A and B are shown apart, each in its own frame.
Chain A
């Protein structure tokens, strides 16, 4: 958004910081690959120092100094309270109900928080073969609740997703309950333009807060479904100097480590 260029922060930074604010120190957060990782670590480095971050590679209570390129970087186990095997991670910790927040990204998302990371086009003859679900199908249903973060685009936020990789609220309403899923599902969506929460009845994502400098038209122009806005629409609080510095320092350390390659190998 060009409107944000004079604000001293980018839409991406606003997204990551807004997402980080949703996390609390007593959360146990299963961190999905990609965008969620930065938000979770900014939370840990600012207002939520005691948050437990879990990555699907088995690392529990990890505190990486640089963002991992993959979900299994050595940095994660080097700084973790403990590292368990992957079957244990999914059986005892996720399926066992120990995770309060599942934090996911999405390639394709619909208004009920259903996520596609599998294929664009037909499954048997895909136009684009995406990586697949990984841990997400069970993170989406076994975590206490689910937060989603992604950049808005017409390709990404669509009226109908091509494949239901990870179940959100299905067709809306009580669809989860009807399938016997007793966790809350998606309760928060943070994009580069706005904060969204599901309508209590229909479960359709509704914009509750616009980021500074963003208009309703900006949100609609970058979303493939007809956007609903809350009656009382808030403006997201601007990033604080500390939040911005924390995020930028983290990204600078990360960039140096990944480009260097050699520097990423810390002794255990």
Chain B
């Protein structure tokens, strides 16, 4: 049953040192506020899982929270590379980072397998791709009916998944709309799900029946954090802060500048600050 909590409580009760944790969001609805709370609480030894680790994993890895990263595209979308992830992989700063690298198709299938309660995902992939040689978690099996070789990867089963969504109703059911990415699968694959939302409404009675709604009993905790996806966007609420993505490339290029930025904007900040970060980005209702 979903508990409405402060983000501080939600993270403290659901994320432990050493967890396999997924903070999902495919460009849209990225759970930045939750990631920043995890950084403030100083979690260690995490295995971070995400198809598209972007700024938040750059920040978490740069602050030393993670010992392993499972991913399929580690870039600053449309801008370039993730400089803190690079520093960890290339130079072991702030400490060594183990990586398990996949393609998008593999991770999307692996989350789906996790949600479906299967031990692995089977798909037509990695043909001729060298990742299959460097990642022991990519194997090939033969279709028992046609003999076709197919790729197999283990299902993703996070200890905890964090996502950001547009709204919850008072019972704790959650709506996601627009680019929905792999969030539904990531929630249903996880032991626990923590969701930050833009707002709480009385009921979902007037929603179209085919929208992506996560029932309250699939969710451990909900925290209301308006603007909590900034600098990504929340369709219907605020636009993407592209300028922040461009600026991040410079901030993350230098270790000292990065640490100074994190101290000012994360360590000494609070979830309540997010609302003010999106005031200039709000869309007309």
Residues in B with CB closer than 8 Å to A163 are 130
Closest Cβ of chain B to A38, distance in Å, is: 12
Bound Cα distance from A57 to B28, whole angstroms: 9
Residues in B with CB closer than 8 Å to A123 are 130, 134
Scoring B127, B212, B236, B281 by chain A CB atoms within 10 A of each residue's CB, the highest score goes to B127
Bound Cα distance from A45 to B203, whole angstroms: 42
Closest Cβ of chain A to B70, distance in Å, is: 12
The answer to whether B244 and A261 touch across the interface, beta carbons within 8 angstroms, is: yes
The answer to whether B242 and A137 touch across the interface, beta carbons within 8 angstroms, is: no
Residues in B with CB closer than 8 Å to A126 are 89-90
The answer to whether A135 and B103 touch across the interface, beta carbons within 8 angstroms, is: yes
Residues in A with CB closer than 8 Å to B71 are 132
Stretch at the interface among B4-12, B175-183, B213-221, B255-263: B175-183
Bound Cα distance from A83 to B123, whole angstroms: 22
Closest to A34 in B: B78
The answer to whether A258 and B27 touch across the interface, beta carbons within 8 angstroms, is: no
Residues in A with CB closer than 8 Å to B244 are 261
Closest to B184 in A: A85
The answer to whether B280 and A129 touch across the interface, beta carbons within 8 angstroms, is: no
Whether, in the assembled complex, A86 has its beta carbon less than 8 Å from a beta carbon of chain B, the answer is yes
Whether, in the assembled complex, A87 has its beta carbon less than 8 Å from a beta carbon of chain B, the answer is yes
Interface size range of chain B in the complex: 35 or more
Bound Cα distance from A58 to B74, whole angstroms: 19
The answer to whether B109 and A133 touch across the interface, beta carbons within 8 angstroms, is: no
CB interface residues, A 239-268, toward B, < 8 Å: 257-268
Scoring A56, A142, A265 by chain B CB atoms within 10 A of each residue's CB, the highest score goes to A265
Closest to A176 in B: B128
Q: Give which listed residue, A86, A95, A165, A262, contacts B182 with CB less than 8 A.
A: A86
Residues in A with CB closer than 8 Å to B123 are 90-91, 95
Stretch at the interface among A8-16, A64-72, A152-160, A225-233: A64-72
Whether, in the assembled complex, B253 has its beta carbon less than 8 Å from a beta carbon of chain A, the answer is no
The answer to whether A87 and B108 touch across the interface, beta carbons within 8 angstroms, is: yes
Residues in A with CB closer than 8 Å to B280 are 261-262
Stretch at the interface among A17-25, A73-81, A192-200, A207-215: A73-81
Whether, in the assembled complex, B82 has its beta carbon less than 8 Å from a beta carbon of chain A, the answer is yes
Residues in B with CB closer than 8 Å to A264 are 233, 239-240, 242
Residues in B with CB closer than 8 Å to A176 are 128
Please judge, given known A-B contacts A33-B77, A33-B78, whether A86 and B108 are in contact too, CB under 8 Å.
yes
The answer to whether B246 and A142 touch across the interface, beta carbons within 8 angstroms, is: no
Q: Give which listed residue, B51, B78, B129, B239, contacts A261 with CB less than 8 A.
A: B239
Whether, in the assembled complex, B245 has its beta carbon less than 8 Å from a beta carbon of chain A, the answer is yes
CB interface residues, A 23-57, toward B, < 8 Å: 33-34, 56-57
Residues in B with CB closer than 8 Å to A179 are 127-128
Closest Cβ of chain B to A146, distance in Å, is: 12
Whether, in the assembled complex, A189 has its beta carbon less than 8 Å from a beta carbon of chain B, the answer is no
CB interface residues, B 219-240, toward A, < 8 Å: 233, 235-236, 238-240
Please judge, given known A-B contacts A74-B233, A261-B281, whether A85 and B101 are in contact too, CB under 8 Å.
no
Bound Cα distance from A86 to B185, whole angstroms: 10
Q: Give which listed residue, A70, A138, A164, A170, contacts B27 with CB less than 8 A.
A: A70
- 17 A-B residue pairs with Cβ-Cβ distance under 8 Å, sorted by A, are A57-B27, A72-B27, A74-B233, A77-B178, A86-B180, A90-B123, A118-B131, A127-B90, A130-B81, A134-B75, A137-B105, A258-B246, A264-B242, A265-B283, A267-B283, A267-B285, A268-B235
The 4 closest A-B pairs by CB, nearest first: A265-B239, A72-B27, A167-B128, A70-B77
